[in-house]
Structure 1
Amino acid sequence: MKKISLLAAVAMAWSSTAIAQNYPVKPIRLIVPFAPGQGADAAARIVAQKLSDNLKQPLVIDNRPGAGGVIGTEAVAKAPADGYTLLVGSNGTHAANPSLYATLPYNALEDFEPIAYIGSVAMVLVSAPNHEAKTPKEVFSAAKAQPGTVSVAIPSSTSRVVLEMLTKASGAKFNPIGYKASGTATTDLMGGHVMLSIDTVIATAPNISSGKLRGIAVTTAKRTSSLPNVPTFQEAGMREIDIAAWNAWFAPRGTPSEVIEKLNGELRRVLGDPDTQTRLRALGYEPDGKLAPAQVRDFVRKEEKKWGDLIRSGGIKAE
């Protein structure tokens, strides 16, 4: 029996190694749980094209938007664990949704194998150029002087979570105004219908650079390369403000570890390419492919707690 068990173990190990060496032998489907043209989709296409060139197989982008990313994420959770269906996950799908929704058709930590961390996108507090408050201190002072009257456009659940972090850190009370998209929030901000907005660098950088909007501060610990002249909240003395949108790639639970390691290595190579970095930074991303799969898992676990604590403290629900 021991000999048979040993032979079986050797056969399985050889089989897994052979799979990893030959993988991939057919096109890979990359599910993006967001609409075409959004930041996550644009970044995924840049990375996927480079990865496709390296692997000598097509990576077919499959956009599955809806329900804050739940629809596409569920599709990957239930897909065969063979390395041919991958997911572009995010802070929404894996950190916020477990607390935003009463129930989910997937477990963000248990139903996926992390592959690689792709990069982050800073959030920015912005105002119209003629707005009186020009610094974080002035914004919070105005909100404290008249609690609940300083309106803030909120075009996403990420924006709402960031506002909760700013509220907890400053003690100021704002008036959040929900929007379904960044475009309408920006239009109302420029038209003076709202005083402030919280949105991604991707959505705000062009208008800030052109002077149509003022960037008050970014939410990351370091300034973002897309808006080098916009300070961080930490520079204003708010050391606890460090939050960003992010993307990471995942596979269904049970995908062979050899396949995960191969994909991780190839994605690291792609993200280390200067052309890839330049193109991602032009979108507003800060690329970072240094994390091993186990480190990505640890990162997601910490992010789920961070976002979950903020969502619960603010009583935020999915809309």
Structure 2
Amino acid sequence: MQNDHKAECEEDVMRNARNLNLLVSMFVSLSLGWASAAMAQNWPNKPVRIVVGFGAGGTADVLARLLIPDLTKAFGEQFIVENRPGSGGAVGSAVVVRAEPDGYTLLIGGAGPHLVGPAVNKNIEYQTMRDFTHVAMIAGDSAMLAASPSLGVNSLAELIKMARDKDVTCGTPGVGSQGHLIMELINQTLKIRLVPVAYKGAAEAMSDLIGNHVSLALQPAISVGAHVQARKAVGLGVTSPARNPVFSSVPTFAELGYPQVRGTAWFWLTGPANMPAPVVERLNREVRKIINLPNIEKQFAKLALQKLDLDVPALNKFLAEEVALWGGLAEKVGLRVQ
């Protein structure tokens, strides 16, 4: 009897302890939820920086600067662009990974540092779906392969004939970037010998192309197209599924007989892992409003950018699929960065 009573008492103590732990956990969760909601209501109350992992003139930089006037207007606080170029966008991404997840440090995510980089570069320690809070899709841009006029080629066929006999330098957006991967795919598919030259930004790459310091450039179409239109560069091919209406004289790789050479460089707003959900939702709603504004749509059309309007769950699903797609392609091509 005595032992039974003792056992019952011990069981009651354990039950009460479990109940107390449950109550404490619920209280902590509710407190965190209240704190997160309160923070979201007060956010932002100081300037917000948007880190761009590339130099001026590239798609990521252009998109950030297109967004900030309307973001500043919508939230009543200054949004500031901070360029942190290096390692194909990985330097800027690493800065944001280490930042406080309070909504005051954001990043223009991109295909190179997030869809390709972690799969090919062992020096990149972050993982795209684990170490970031993805906020809102902005737009996508195709890549364009262009030649310096001094190279003496006016078509992809002429380049193939030349580059099967000798190495030809090609300015890419950085080692282990999406552009680097597409260049290696071009080498493998066309059986030619393009040698990558890594640049921190598209403007620098195009300056060297025009100055005859590099023979080719594989850069965002937004950065190359204007030089092609001005006849300062020769457009050889674009990676989009159809011709770009702004640069309609440049054929797609698919129509030239190489449908394997394709790719869209997506850009989206992201931040450190564990950002407050209410802040993320507010930002997602505002960015989606902004990309649907008539003046922004007009700018996207002028720059031949593809818009993609996604809520937060759809964005995460889309990015997870893109990570798998480009990681698989990197494995197929055999691209590895030491």
Is the shorter-chain TM-score for this pair beyond 0.5, marking a shared fold? yes
2:320 to 301, 308, 311: 301
Matched residue of 1:269: which SS? helix
* Aligned counterpart, 2:76: 56
> 1 CA distance for matches of 2:233 and 2:124?
37
Amino acid at match of 1:298: K
The structural deviation recorded for 1:44 is 0.5
Amino acid at match of 1:74: A
Deviations 1:113-161 (CA, angstroms, capped at 9, x unpaired):
1111111222112235587755445544x26xx7352624223334322
TM-score, normalised with respect to structure 2: 0.78
Residue 94 in 1 paired to residue 117 in 2? Answer: no
Inter-CA distance 187–229: structure 2 relative to 1 (3 Å threshold): closer
* Aligned counterpart, 1:173: 192
Residue 186 in 1 paired to residue 209 in 2? Answer: yes
Amino acid at match of 1:275: N
Inter-CA distance 207–36: structure 2 relative to 1 (3 Å threshold): closer
* Aligned counterpart, 1:201: 221
Deviations 1:157-186 (CA, angstroms, capped at 9, x unpaired):
34322122223333x222325254413541
Inter-CA distance 279–105: structure 2 relative to 1 (3 Å threshold): same
> 2 CA distance for matches of 1:214 and 1:257?
47
Q: How many residues align?
A: 310
Amino acid at match of 1:161: L
Amino acid at match of 2:291: L
Asked if 2 retains the 8 angstrom alpha-carbon contact of 1:120 and 1:285, the reply is no
The structural deviation recorded for 1:45 is 1.5
* Aligned counterpart, 2:138: 118
Inter-CA distance 214–66: structure 2 relative to 1 (3 Å threshold): closer
Q: Write the mapping of 1:210-221 to structure 2, written as runs, cut at 5 A.
A: 210-221=230-241
Amino acid at match of 2:314: Q
Identity of aligned residues (%): 25
1:290 to 309, 314, 317: 309
> 1 CA distance for matches of 2:57 and 2:132?
25
Q: Write the mapping of 1:265-280 to structure 2, written as runs, cut at 5 A.
A: 265-280=285-300
What stretches of structure 2 of length at least 5 have no aligned partner?
A: 1-18
TM-score, normalised with respect to structure 1: 0.83
Residue 232 in 1 paired to residue 252 in 2? Answer: yes
Asked if 1 retains the 8 angstrom alpha-carbon contact of 2:243 and 2:252, the reply is yes
Deviations 1:193-227 (CA, angstroms, capped at 9, x unpaired):
73x43222233212211223222221011333431
Amino acid at match of 2:266: W
Residue 156 in 1 paired to residue 173 in 2? Answer: yes
Bigger radius of gyration, 1 or 2?
2
The structural deviation recorded for 1:317 is 2.3
Deviations 1:17-59 (CA, angstroms, capped at 9, x unpaired):
4443443233222222223444422320211221111111111
> 2 CA distance for matches of 1:188 and 1:70?
27
